[in-house]
Chain A
Amino acid sequence: MSTAPIFRLLDVQKAYDVDAKGGSLFSRAKRRLRALDGVRLSLAPGESLAIVGESGSGKTTLLRVLLGLTHPTDGRALFREKDIASLDGVDRDRFCREVAAIYQDARGSLNPRMSVLDLIAEPLDHHKLCTNSDRSDRVAALMSRVGLSPAMMSRYVSALSGGQLRRIAIARALASEPSVLVADEAVSGLDVSTQAQILKLLRDLQREMGLSLLFITHDLGVAAYLCDRIAVMYLGRVVEAGLTREVLKAPAHPYTRALLNASPRFFAPISDPLPGEVPSPIDLPPGCRFAGRCVRAQDDCQKSEPALTPASPTRMFACFHPLAS
């Protein structure tokens, strides 16, 4: 049981029908937008996985599929080997308790009419994890665990700062004693020092509690700090995956390389942004979806699409002409 993956995505596809230009008043032309296009992933207990990619690459969509908020149009999304879409009864309860989400918009994910005490106690109450008498003790313990003074317990969301709100969101996520923490851009929009504190907190929590962590970010530095494994997404596909330090040290996929070049490093002048525009995910041309921006593109890249293939037990990428390591 312990080594069986918690989450498994088997060639998950999520396509949206979107209105396209050129439809007449009466017959609206519909186009398929593949937000996820054949994603294969797994998350083992205690493992931390970063999902990185540019805006629009389908990171949030992937997360919503994992949380069961949207259902894949093709392929299967499994939680402990059971379809997330059709979890019920005991399995559903287990899913609700074991999987905790931290939202990108912490303020919006907290009810403004509930005090901090009630917000953090909600999962405790819901999963019946505490008695009435130790309710506020438990909340105080959680608050100190995430670095908040328990004196804040009676405050409301409107009277808290962005960093405090993230901490409350984390405390709330921890309250249900989950086995997986799923976070979407949990540190974006914070100043650097607060960001560092929250990242450190998340890393410590993950290590101490043996949590699995799925962390979405567009910041490779954050991914490197927090996660053992990384999956790089481009236009709805995982193009490279593996151990974070291996991937970042010697990227095989030209897109990972480009991302690395584009990410600002300390003491280095900000480098050029990625060349070219992200193509529209609607009606992609055949062949490799990165071909239009790829410096290594050759004729065969336009003909067929490279599949995500393992190069070593810890490394996978989808490219015909990978960078030599």
Chain B
Amino acid sequence: MVDIPVDTRLAARRPTRLEGLRALARSNIYFAIASIVVALFILSATFAPLVSPHPPLDQDMAAFMSPPLTENHMLGTDSFGRDLLARTIYGARYALAIGFGAVLIGALGGLIVGVAAGLSGGVTEWALMRFIDALLALPSLIMAIAFISILGQGVDKVILAVGVALIGPFSRTVRADVLQVKAQAFVEAAGLMGVKRLAIIWRHILPNVIFPLAVQATIRVSYAVLVSSGLSFLGIGVAPPTPDWGLMIAEGRSFVSFAPWIAGVPGTALAILLIALSIVGDGVREHFDPKLRKQG
């Protein structure tokens, strides 16, 4: 018989994926820059205590509302004399935690509801579809507001509220994917082979659904960050004095005519992160979406 490179199997399980992303970064300069920016945000959020010049809640009695580039406060201070750079760095923690956490909840919930709706039929499917319609009837921000008013304020509550608000859109795409995969010949072929229904779902349907879902999730992280900042800005998300960007922008709003940096610094951070996240999300989608990519 022929000698076979069995050991390459695991290593080569999905070799094209990461290599492909690296090639994408090389060919698409915006994707490369955006990835670096997102990575920097994630790093500085993770190591906030190390990179931040001050603790986020420390008040400098000698420097209220000092503009950027003053001594000790590179990006200035707010109306309580708190360092804006420090607060923005710590704010990235909340923004990213809420963004990724909410998307995780939304994607997981969407996966469960969408798969159930796609695989069941009859009354169950009808009920699930009406449930999804109900979730989709309101924009996510309004939806999140509704949940916050039930759950109360706090970071965990915001993650939950935004996450639940995202279940609708996620489950709709998952259901569409399930219906499409279910109709494929390989699912029928597995049935012919006598593979049990649960095994078919696990081995053939889920892997073909989870991957597009992961791509979807990348795209929706920036949206989740935006919605959560919106909530804080409206004063119903994270409670002060938490260094949350939305909250900081709201606080700085009253001083915008004479101390624009108070709202401007977190606002710029938010804008940069959102843009970088959506470029990364778009790049990932473009790279993996079979409809956008030519078949090999």
Which A residues form the contact surface with B (CB < 8 A)? 67-69, 92-93, 95-97, 99, 101, 103, 105, 108-115, 117, 122-123, 126, 136-137, 140-141, 144, 149-151, 153-154, 156, 158-159, 176
Contacts and interface: CB of A to CB of B under 8 A. Distances in A.
Given A113-B211, A126-B194, A153-B4, A158 B185 contact: no
Contacts of A140: 1-2, 4
Interface of B: 1-2, 4-6, 8-9, 12-13, 15-16, 184-186, 188-190, 192-195, 203-204, 207-208, 211, 295-296
14 contacts: A68-B192, A99-B192, A101-B192, A108-B184, A108-B185, A109-B188, A111-B203, A126-B193, A144-B1, A151-B4, A151-B5, A154-B9, A154-B15, A156-B16
Contacts of A141: 1
Given A96-B194, A111-B208, A101 B189 contact: yes
A171 to B, nearest CB: 14
Interface of B is mostly: helix
A47 to B, nearest CB: 21
Contacts of B195: 122, 126
Contacts of B194: 92-93, 95-97, 126
A313 to B, nearest CB: 34
B186 A69 contact: no
A56 to B, nearest CB: 20
B193 A136 contact: no
A63 to B, nearest CB: 11
B186 A158 contact: no
A108 B193 contact: no
B1 A103 contact: no
Given A126-B194, A140-B2, A103 B185 contact: yes
B3 to A, nearest CB: 8
A113 B208 contact: yes
Contacts of A99: 192
B2 A111 contact: no
A152 B285 CA distance: 27
A295 to B, nearest CB: 40
A93 B193 CA distance: 9
B10 to A, nearest CB: 9
Nearest to B6: A136
Contacts of B6: 136
A136 B44 CA distance: 46
A153 B9 contact: yes
Contacts of B12: 115, 154
B186 A108 contact: yes
B13 A111 contact: no
A115 B192 contact: no
A231 B22 CA distance: 55
B4 A150 contact: yes
A274 to B, nearest CB: 30
B193 A122 contact: yes
Given A114-B203, A137-B1, 16 more contacts: A68-B192, A92-B194, A93-B194, A105-B185, A108-B185, A109-B189, A111-B186, A113-B208, A113-B211, A136-B4, A144-B2, A149-B2, A150-B4, A154-B12, A154-B13, A159-B296
Contacts of B15: 154
A69 B13 CA distance: 33
A69 B1 contact: no
Contacts of A137: 1, 4
A292 to B, nearest CB: 35
B181 to A, nearest CB: 9
A115 B185 contact: no
A130 to B, nearest CB: 14
Contacts of B185: 103, 105, 108-109
B196 to A, nearest CB: 9
Contacts of A96: 192-194
A252 B211 CA distance: 56
A158 B295 contact: yes
A69 B191 CA distance: 9
A115 B204 CA distance: 12
A115 B13 contact: yes
Nearest to A137: B1
Contacts of A151: 4-5
Contacts of B295: 158
Contact of B192 (A69, A156, A159): A69
Nearest to A176: B193
A112 B4 contact: no
B291 to A, nearest CB: 13
Q: Which 3 A-B pairs have the closest CB atoms?
A: A96-B194, A154-B12, A109-B185
B207 A113 contact: yes
Nearest to B209: A113
A113 to B, nearest CB: 4
A176 B195 CA distance: 13
A97 B194 CA distance: 8
B1 A110 contact: no
Given A105-B185, A109-B185, A111-B208, A136 B9 contact: yes
